[in-house]
Amino acid sequence: MTPNMFFLLVSILFSIGLVGIISRRNLFVIYMSIELMLSSVNLLLATLSKLLGDANGSVMALLLIAVIAAEAALFLAMITHLYRQSRTLDSDHYKKLSKVK
Amino acid sequence: MLNLIVITPFISALILTIIYLLNTKKENTFIYTLIGIASPVFITLLSLFTLFELINGVPTIHSTLFEWLHIGELNISIAFMADRLSVIMISFITFIGTLIHIYAAGYMRGDEGYGKFFAYFNLFMGSMLLLVLADNPIMMFIGWELVGLSSYLLIGFYHQESSNVTAANKAFILNRVGDFGFIIGISLLFISLEGSGFTFDTIKANIQLIDNERLSLIGFLLFVGAMGKSAQIPLYVWLPDAMAGPTPVSALIHAATMVTAGVYMVSRYSFIYSEIPDIGLFIAYIGAFSALFAAILASYQSDIKKILAYSTMSQLGYMFIAVGLGAYSSGIFHVFTHAFFKALLFMGAGAVIIALHHEQNIFKMGGLKKDLRVIYITMFIATLAISGIPPFAGFFSKDAILVMAFASENYLLWVMGSLTAALTAFYMFRLLFSVFHAKSEHKHELQNVSSSMTLPLVVLAFGSTTVGFLGLNEAYGGSSLFNNFLVLPDIELHITHEVEYMLGALNVLLAFCGMLLAYKMFATNAKETLPDNRVRKLIINKFYIDEIYTFIFVRPLLLLSSFIAQTLDPKIFDGAINLSVSGYHKAAYLFEQLQNGKVRYYALYVLVGISAMSLYMIYKLGVKL
């Protein structure tokens, strides 16, 4: 396993996440795509930390995991609340902040 | 003083207009009459004073009002010039114009637009004086255009009837056609002189700068203007229609203003025309054809004013024969004498029309000899004058022109002129006999003709009898006073007195023939000529010239306009615009789709952008995938 393989994996994961955000309208899928992108960044940090023999990257990854956990709790709560209000998970349906009706 | 002559009528016209517009009840006839007549009387006195000054030896009078334009080489002053030619012109324009004004006070009495009429009338005289006294061609052109404008206003004076407005438009538009040539001619003259001054004096001094071909073109173009104003073939068709205006207007147009402007203009530019005899000959032939053509038409008309209109066209033809052949003085002399008897004829006709409650057909008149004695006698004198019977004025001026045509060996011109003379006598006496001698079929209840109408007739009749003696030439025992005074560049032709007497006698003989024929046909029992054979039909319908013009010019224009209005404009031009409009609509729709407020799409754009940039960088950095 060369570091290049890890970079490639990181790129693929990130791209899948990005395309997911763009192409899907289900809020859960979007959320999972974001998670995927964050995970890919975590993996990158860990890889670089290992490669350079520096602990900073690993520390940052650890912190990120904590943040992601908190965010997951918040995000899921919000999605549940939104679903209760309008009985749908379609992101295009949520345009209360938009001028366009 | 010259300034005053030109400005006075304009000012009085302005004052009359203001009074007329303020005075909503259209009363105050007295004030209109006072102002309307005082100003021509005043300028007549001034003009006569100027005339005496010139007779006493002053060569020319110049007077500058102010500098108007000064752009590079174009330097135009509002300036007036009175030389011997223009002083003669203004003398009879103001004198006869005044008489016509006095006559008009009687003729127009009780008319709703009395004040308006006098305002226009004064404007007309002012315009003509501006034209005549102009110091440079630009000023002359302004006067030229103002004359056209005034005639338009006056011909369409009874504007409630649409046919009168059409007649006014016709006069105006046909004059524009001529003016187009005139203004190109002036422009060409200005360019050719290369900025060496643009007054008549400097043009005269620098005329040798222009080569002969260019000069011929200029001369021709200027004459196109004269064709329009002076109603010569082919731009004459407005003249009979112009009879739609009140009769004093016809008298003013035909005697003292407007139509004589063309002859005056050619004489004014005599220094050009004497350089280009070919164009002069062309002018003479146009004049001769117009003279004969109009005389033929006049012989078959039955409207009293139209007969007189054609006779003016015919007489103008004579004047153009003269100026075309280079006998400018003789041309101006005929303008001068013609002004007297033509004004008299029109005013007499107007008086008859008024007396008969606006009847204009000569065959419905008849037998007015006793009832309208003054009018009959004065009109008889004018008819003798225009027919060229000595010693009345017309004989001397017409004879001078015909002698000139004979002496210059243009025998065709002479034959046409003589024929016209015979025809003139015929149709004028036809008019006179039908109106005053022939038995009347119905009794007329005559309306009273006021003395302000008959008095000018008497003055003019006196003039028609005597003014011919001013130009008496050697053969008739005079010394060509008029011609010698004018000092125009006339060509000199010598002809023996015997030949001259013979020509004169021949003309008188021809005139008597015409007169006798008219007497036989119309003196006792005047019948309207019916279009009973092909030739008469052709002539009575005026050779269908109006119809031909309609066919050649008016119809194609109308067709073109309707094509543009109905096809070209909505389909092609509007179509192109609508196409671009719909293009914008489509573009707007596209952007609306892009700019939809959804984050996903914006993220996509970011992705696309970043991807493109990345690809570009990869390509530039030469990374091989």
Distance of CA B284 to CAs B227, B229, B275, B297, B320, Å?
Answer: 12, 16, 15, 20, 6
Segments in chain B below pLDDT 50: none
Report CB contact under 8 Å: B597, A22. Answer: no
Q: What's the CA gap between B156 and B165, in Å, rounded?
A: 5
Position B242 scores a pLDDT of: 87
Give B607→chain A minimum CA distance, Å.
Answer: 8
Give B596→chain A minimum CA distance, Å.
Answer: 8
- In sequence order, the 6+-apart residues with CB closer than 8 A to the CB of B43 are B4, B5, B8, B9, B94, B125, B129
Please name the residue of chain B whose CA is at the shortest distance from the CA of residue A24. Answer: B600
CB contact at 8 A, B303 and B242: no
Position B27 scores a pLDDT of: 66
Distance of CA B551 to CAs B41, B172, B240, B539, Å?
Answer: 47, 20, 19, 19
Q: What's the CA gap between B432 and B426, in Å, rounded?
A: 10
Q: How far is CA A84 from the centre of its chain?
A: 24
In B72-122, DSSP assigns E strands to: 74-82
Residue that has been written with the tokens 């002859």 in this structure: B263
CB contact at 8 A, B384 and B392: yes
Residues of chain B contacting residue A99, judged by C-beta atoms under 8 Å apart: 597
**Tokens representing residue B518 in the block:** 């008219």
Residues of chain B contacting residue A100, judged by C-beta atoms under 8 Å apart: 596-597
Q: What's the CA gap between B65 and B279, in Å, rounded?
A: 35
Choosing among B592, B607, B608, B610, which should be mutated to test the A contact, i.e. which has the most A CBs within 10 A? B607
Secondary structure (H, E, C), chain A: CCHHHHHHHHHHHHHHHHHHHHHCCEHHHHHHHHHHHHHHHHHHHHHHHHHHCCCHHHHHHHHHHHHHHHHHHHHHHHHHHHHHHHCCCEHHHCCCCCCCC
- Identify residues of B whose CB sits under 8 angstroms from chain A CBs: 596-598, 600, 603-604, 607
Kindly state the DSSP code that residue B134 receives in the 8-state scheme.
B
CB contact at 8 A, B405 and B318: no
Please name the residue of chain A whose CA is at the shortest distance from the CA of residue B602. Answer: A22
Q: Quick one: CA torsion of B508, B513, B515, B517, rounded to 10 degrees?
A: -170
Residue that has been written with the tokens 């395309």 in this structure: A19
Comparing CB atoms, the residue among B597, B600, B603 nearest residue A100 is B597
The predicted complex's ipTM stands at 0.75
Long-range contacts of B357-360 (CB under 8 A, 24+ apart): B357/B445, B357/B447, B360/B303, B360/B304, B360/B305
Q: What's the CA gap between B213 and B49, in Å, rounded?
A: 42
Residues of chain A contacting residue B600, judged by C-beta atoms under 8 Å apart: 21-23, 25, 91
CA angle B266, B269, B274 (to 5 degrees): 90
Q: Residue A60: pLDDT band by 50, 70, 90 thresholds? A: very high
Choosing among A22, A96, A99, which should be mutated to test the B contact, i.e. which has the most B CBs within 10 A? A22
Position B291 scores a pLDDT of: 93
Position B24 scores a pLDDT of: 67
At residue B581, what are phi and psi to the nearest 5 degrees? -60, -45
One-letter amino acid for residue B230 of the chain: S
Comparing CB atoms, the residue among B596, B597, B603 nearest residue A21 is B603
Give A53→chain B minimum CA distance, Å.
Answer: 28
Position B459 scores a pLDDT of: 92
Residues of chain A contacting residue B598, judged by C-beta atoms under 8 Å apart: 91-92, 95
CB contact at 8 A, B568 and B559: no
A4 touches chain B (CB under 8 A): no
pLDDT digits (tens, 9 = 90+) for A2-47: 888 999 999 999 999 999 988 888 999 999 999 999 999 999 999 9
A95 touches chain B (CB under 8 A): yes
Report CB contact under 8 Å: A22, B598. Answer: no
| Nearest CA-CA partner of B212 in B196, B192, B230, B229 | B192
Report CB contact under 8 Å: A21, B597. Answer: no
Choosing among B602, B604, B608, which should be mutated to test the A contact, i.e. which has the most A CBs within 10 A? B604
Report CB contact under 8 Å: B600, A18. Answer: no
- In sequence order, the 6+-apart residues with CB closer than 8 A to the CB of A81 are none
At residue B303, what are phi and psi to the nearest 5 degrees? -85, 125
Half-sphere exposure of A80 (CA within 13 A, CB side): 6
Give B556→chain A minimum CA distance, Å.
Answer: 58
| Nearest CA-CA partner of B441 in B345, B359, B354, B550 | B359
Residue that has been written with the tokens 């899921």 in this structure: A76
Quote the pTM value: 0.79
Question: Count of CB atoms within 10 A of residue B556's CB?
Answer: 10
Report CB contact under 8 Å: A22, B604. Answer: yes
| Nearest CA-CA partner of B507 in B402, B383, B393 | B402
Comparing CB atoms, the residue among A22, A25, A92 nearest residue B607 is A22
Report CB contact under 8 Å: B607, A99. Answer: no
In B155-249, DSSP assigns E strands to: none
Please name the residue of chain B whose CA is at the shortest distance from the CA of residue A94. Answer: B598
Give A76→chain B minimum CA distance, Å.
Answer: 20
At residue B61, what are phi and psi to the nearest 5 degrees? -110, 125
Question: Count of CB atoms within 10 A of residue B122's CB?
Answer: 29
Q: What's the CA gap between B605 and B296, in Å, rounded?
A: 90
- In sequence order, the 6+-apart residues with CB closer than 8 A to the CB of B24 are none
The DSSP annotation for B284-314 comes to HHHHHHHHHHHHHHHTT--BHHHHHHHHHHH
Cβ contacts from A onto B, under 8 A = 19
Give A34→chain B minimum CA distance, Å.
Answer: 13
Position B44 scores a pLDDT of: 93
CB contact at 8 A, B252 and B102: no
Report CB contact under 8 Å: B604, A95. Answer: no
Q: In terms of residues, how long is chain A?
A: 101
Give A18→chain B minimum CA distance, Å.
Answer: 8
pLDDT at A97 over 80: no
Comparing CB atoms, the residue among A18, A91, A95 nearest residue B597 is A95
| Nearest CA-CA partner of A27 in A75, A97, A95 | A75
Q: What's the CA gap between B406 and B395, in Å, rounded?
A: 16
| Nearest CA-CA partner of B601 in B613, B612, B592 | B592
CB contact at 8 A, B165 and B199: no
**Tokens representing residue A9 in the block:** 């994996």
pLDDT digits (tens, 9 = 90+) for B372-386: 888 999 999 999 999
A91 touches chain B (CB under 8 A): yes
Q: Quick one: CA torsion of B347, B349, B353, B356, rounded to 10 degrees?
A: 120
Long-range contacts of A9-16 (CB under 8 A, 24+ apart): A9/A40, A9/A43, A10/A40, A10/A41, A10/A43, A10/A44, A10/A47, A11/A40, A13/A37, A13/A39, A13/A40, A13/A43, A14/A40, A14/A41
Residues of chain B contacting residue A92, judged by C-beta atoms under 8 Å apart: 598
| Nearest CA-CA partner of B525 in B429, B425, B433, B446 | B433
Give A78→chain B minimum CA distance, Å.
Answer: 18
pLDDT at A100 over 60: no
